[in-house]
Each structure stands twice: as structure tokens, then as C-alpha cells.
């Protein structure tokens, strides 16, 4: 990819603004800053694979221009589609960060003992929409320290409070939605499914919840769209990976081989009782296979309720 094509670009839409270094009209943008008008702080994204590159890894990124330094705490995760590793974190668009983005010369991005350089030519002009839209936004408490995830799950809850979707990851946050309880069709019981995009302290951030008609193949019913939080106590999913690991990494210690517990069943027979955490495409599950109870990290999961995961 020609380095001459790389430049700073800014954009503003009805609900958000962005500044990125890359090539417009393509998916290539190694460095970006985005924010929403809702005021939950700035999201910093950096395409970089650190030495310890596993989903959920915590990495401090230091931005430096001249004598201005801005540290940003990030969490990493791997995009399965193109095997790209992403570091993402939240920051306040304060005067110090604005001075850094509008400096002249070179932007240095430090990760561990490595550094990457980005010329700041054109950044001042490109950053104007971002600064105008989100200057001074503080990081919303619920947005801080959120680990990025990309999984789906279903909801096992049945009681009124168990079905609530809350505005923030805490039990006293306002209820902004509710999920339908499990329902029966013929001799089958089906549950509401959801897309999960983040995790924080036992709570899972969902972007959508929906009910799929597996029997009559009618249109999927979306019951929630937006950003909400649910606890992991009543979440489940299907596993199609034989191992449970101690950490979210294929190099971590194996705590259970689901293909060897019982010759009558495999990983998809593991009954997930709750989710404890997630990071990228990895998820920490707890459940049992027949009489054997296990807890560990795995991937290759889905929320399909009628067949195995791809």
C-alpha cells in the first residue's frame, strides 16, 4: 500500500465525528479517534499487534508530539475476519489531547519498547469536526475500562428483573428495555438471542436482542436496538471448540477437553449455565457436561439453538 496515499481525514455525521489516519474509501486506517454527541468520551483505536497479543490484553499506549504526552489505557482483541489486532481505549478530548492532535511535526505512538511515527501534516485541519463536536467530553463511568467483545448469546432469565436491560453496568441503572422470556413452539423451547459488544465487571454490553423463528421461518423479530447492559448470570450459548483454557489464548493451559469427558457427547453438549467475561471472540463460561462441572475460556461459540456452530 502506497505510503503517499496515507493522510489525516476528518468527518462529522448527525450523531458522531471522527479523525483518522488512513485512506478514505477503504478499510485501511491504522489510527483513529471517534466520538458521539451523546458525550461518553473519545474512542481511540490503533491497529497494532503487541508482543503479548491475546484477546483482552491490557496495553498502555503513549501518544507524544513535541513535549506533549498523552497516555491511553487500551484493551486488545483480534478481528477474526482479517486477522487484524486492534487496541481500543477511551480518552477525554481535553486541551492537552487537542494540543497534541493540532501540533506540527511528528506524532509518536509508543507501545512497550516499540514506537511508530505518523506525520501530523494536515491533522490540525482534519481534527476540526472532532474538536467542535466533542471537546471537553468526559469519559462516562460506564464506558471506562470496557473490554471489547464480539460474540452472541441467548438469555436464560425468566423472572421480571432477570429480563431487564439496563442503561449502565450496575443493578441500580435505569431499565431501558426488557427481553421476552423463553417461549415454547411445539415441543421446543427457544430463547431471546443477543449480540454482545463489550464486558465490564460481570455485565455484558449488548447492541441488539432478537427472537428467531426456527420452526416456521418467519421474519426475525428485533426486540432491542442500541446499547444496553445485562448480567452474565442468565446468559448461555453453544460451544463448538473442544478445549476450555485458563486464559483467553490458545497457548494458555487447557483446563478441560470437552471431547474426552464422555464418549456419548462433545463440546456442543456442554450446558453453559452462565458467562463470566468476554474478550474479542473469546468468552469465559461456566457449566457442566453430564456430572462434570467446568469453568474456562473458549471460542468458536454461537447462539444458534437448533444446530452446531460453524
Q: Which three cell numbers stand for residue 122?
A: 494536515
**Average pLDDT of the residues in 269-289:** 94
Mean pLDDT across the chain: 91
CA dihedral sign of residues 290, 291, 292, 298: positive
Task: Give the pLDDT score at 1.
Answer: 47
Q: Alpha carbon 198 to chain centroid distance?
A: 4
- Residue 192 CA to residue 288 CA, distance in Å, equals 22
Give the distance between the most distant pair of CA atoms in the chain. Answer: 69
Distance set, CA 52 to CA 28, 123, 163, 254 (Å): 23, 31, 38, 18
Rounded to 10 degrees, what is the CA torsion of 274, 277, 282, 288? Answer: -30
Interval 42-80: pLDDT, tens = 999 999 999 988 888 999 999 999 999 999 999 998 887
Task: Give the pLDDT score at 3.
Answer: 55
Domains of the chain: 3-143 (2.60.40), 147-302 (no CATH)
pTM: 0.79
| N residues, the chain | 310
**Average pLDDT of the residues in 291-301:** 94
Rounded to 10 degrees, what is the CA torsion of 191, 192, 197, 203? Answer: -70
Rounded to 10 degrees, what is the CA torsion of 19, 21, 24, 25? Answer: -100
Is pLDDT at 37 greater than 90 in this prediction?
Answer: no
Range scoring the smallest mean pLDDT among 87-96, 102-111, 159-168, 203-212: 159-168
Task: Give the pLDDT score at 4.
Answer: 57
Rounded percentage of the chain residues whose pLDDT exceeds 90: 71
Greater pLDDT, 128 or 77 = 128
Q: Which three cell numbers stand for residue 300?
A: 468458536
Rounded to 10 degrees, what is the CA torsion of 263, 267, 273, 276? Answer: 140
Rounded to 10 degrees, what is the CA torsion of 116, 121, 123, 124? Answer: 140
- Strand pairing partners for 222? 210
Kindly write down the DSSP assignment for every residue of 147-173, as one continuous string: EEEEEEEEE---STGGGEEESSSSTTS
Q: Where are the alpha helices (DSSP H) in the chain?
A: 95-101, 123-126, 128-134
Interval 191-208: pLDDT, tens = 999 999 999 999 999 999
Amino acid at each position: 500500500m502506497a505510503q503517499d496515499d496515507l493522510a489525516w481525514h476528518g468527518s462529522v455525521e448527525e450523531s458522531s465525528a471522527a479523525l483518522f489516519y488512513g485512506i478514505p474509501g477503504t478499510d485501511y486506517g491504522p489510527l483513529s479517534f471517534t466520538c458521539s454527541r451523546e458525550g461518553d468520551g473519545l474512542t481511540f483505536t490503533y491497529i497494532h499487534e503487541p508482543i503479548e497479543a491475546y484477546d483482552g490484553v491490557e496495553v498502555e499506549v503513549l501518544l507524544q508530539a513535541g513535549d506533549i504526552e498523552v497516555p491511553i489505557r487500551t484493551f486488545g482483541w483480534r478481528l477474526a475476519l482479517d486477522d487484524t489486532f486492534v487496541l481500543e481505549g477511551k480518552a477525554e478530548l481535553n486541551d492537552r489531547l487537542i494540543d497534541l492532535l493540532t501540533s506540527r511535526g511528528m506524532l509518536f505512538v509508543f507501545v512497550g519498547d516499540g514506537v511508530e511515527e505518523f506525520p501530523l501534516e494536515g491533522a490540525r485541519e482534519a481534527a476540526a469536526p472532532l474538536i467542535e463536536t466533542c471537546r471537553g467530553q468526559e469519559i462516562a463511568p460506564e464506558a471506562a475500562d470496557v473490554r471489547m467483545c464480539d460474540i452472541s448469546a441467548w438469555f436464560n432469565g425468566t423472572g421480571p428483573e432477570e429480563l431487564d436491560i439496563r442503561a449502565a453496568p450496575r443493578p441500580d441503572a435505569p431499565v431501558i428495555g426488557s427481553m421476552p422470556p423463553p417461549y415454547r413452539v411445539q415441543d421446543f423451547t427457544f430463547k431471546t438471542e443477543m449480540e454482545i459488544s463489550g464486558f465490564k465487571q460481570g455485565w455484558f454490553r449488548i447492541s441488539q436482542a432478537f427472537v428467531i423463528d426456527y420452526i416456521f421461518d418467519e421474519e426475525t423479530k428485533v426486540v432491542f436496538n442500541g446499547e444496553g447492559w445485562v448480567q452474565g448470570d442468565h446468559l448461555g450459548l453453544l460451544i463448538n471448540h473442544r478445549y476450555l483454557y485458563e486464559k483467553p489464548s490458545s497457548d494458555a493451559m487447557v483446563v478441560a477437553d470437552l471431547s474426552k469427558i464422555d464418549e456419548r457427547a462433545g463440546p456442543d453438549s456442554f450446558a453453559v449455565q452462565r458467562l463470566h467475561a468476554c474478550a474479542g471472540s473469546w468468552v469465559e463460561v461456566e457449566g457442566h457436561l453430564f456430572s462434570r462441572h467446568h469453568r474456562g475460556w473458549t471460542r468458536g461459540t454461537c447462539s444458534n439453538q437448533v444446530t452446531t456452530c460453524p
